[in-house]
Amino acid sequence: MLNKLKIEGTIKVESGLHIGGSTEFAAIGAIDSPVIKDSLTNLPIIPGSSLKGKMRTLLAKAYNDSPLVSGTSANNDDYRIKRLFGATTQNADGQLIIGRLIFRDSILSNREELAQLGAKSYTETKFENTIDRFTAVATPRQIKRIIRGSKFDFELIYDVEKESEVEEDIQLVKTGLELLENDYLGGSGSRGYGKVKFENLSIKPVLGNYDVKGLDAILEG
């Protein structure tokens, strides 16, 4: 029987967040690096691909036997990571390893709250300079960031493949979220961007009748 579980919660942005959008055309004086936005509402979003890629990288750094270096294939990740995120290699049964997690795009969910706090826009422009250490020539740039205090609906779908591995898988998801909280999401994290926090995490069945008793405690712990 097919069972799917939904992990949901809120992503709170605790420092300006930049996940880049298109810069195919930039007029004079325009923003050098815009944020990605939803095409229908023009509101900033956090792509599921950004969350997936960052979580996998952090888990690989934590669990892989060898350090990550340029060119390291995701197919060499720890087996627990591969069964969650997938790989292009085959398992012991000769089948392609299909990941058990589906990452949804996260949509801004607290527009009214931000307006009450006095926000005039959901993004801000950060002015920065890169300075040549030899010539001291400054090159200014403008970077759009999602403002601090923004909240996004967070959703993961987990496919139950083996009941004996569910608790370990959910614990690995929880660990990935904790690693991300203590790292950064998006670009320029070493300069203070991209601190996030995951709040109000919960899990429930959305297909099938899998008993999630005990899994909430893992996410809350």
pLDDT computed for residue 22 by the predictor: 46
Q: Which residue has the tokens 């995701």?
A: 74
**Is the pLDDT score of 155 beyond 60?**
yes
CA-closest candidate to residue 180, choices 204, 212, 156: 156
Which tens digits make up the pLDDT trace of 157-200? Answer: 999 999 999 999 999 999 999 999 999 999 888 888 999 999 99
Q: Where do the domains of the chain lie?
A: 3-62+99-220
Query: pLDDT confidence of 31, banded at 50, 70, 90?
Result: very low
Residue-wise pLDDT tens digits, 50-105: 999 999 999 999 999 887 767 778 888 899 999 999 988 777 666 788 999 999 99
The structure's pTM equals: 0.86
Contacts of residue 11, defined as CB under 8 A and 6 or more positions apart, other chains included, come to 46, 106, 151, 152, 153, 154, 196, 197, 198, 199
Most confident segment among 8-12, 15-19, 77-81, 214-218: 8-12
Question: Would you give the distance in Å from CA 60 to the centre of its chain?
Answer: 15
Query: Residue 132 contacts by C-beta under 8 Å, 6 or more apart in sequence?
Result: 138, 139
How far apart CA 9 and CA 155 sit, in angstroms, is: 7
Is the pLDDT at 26 greater than 60, yes or no? no
- For the residues of 160-210, what is the DSSP string, one character each? ES-GGGHHHHHHHHHHHHHHHHTS-SSS-GGGT---EEEEEEEEEEEES--
pLDDT digits (tens, 9 = 90+) for 90-131: 776 667 889 999 999 999 999 999 999 999 999 988 866 667
Q: CB-based burial of residue 155 (10 Å sphere; 0-12 exposed, 13-18 middle, 19+ buried)? A: middle
Q: Two tokens at 52?
A: 């997936």
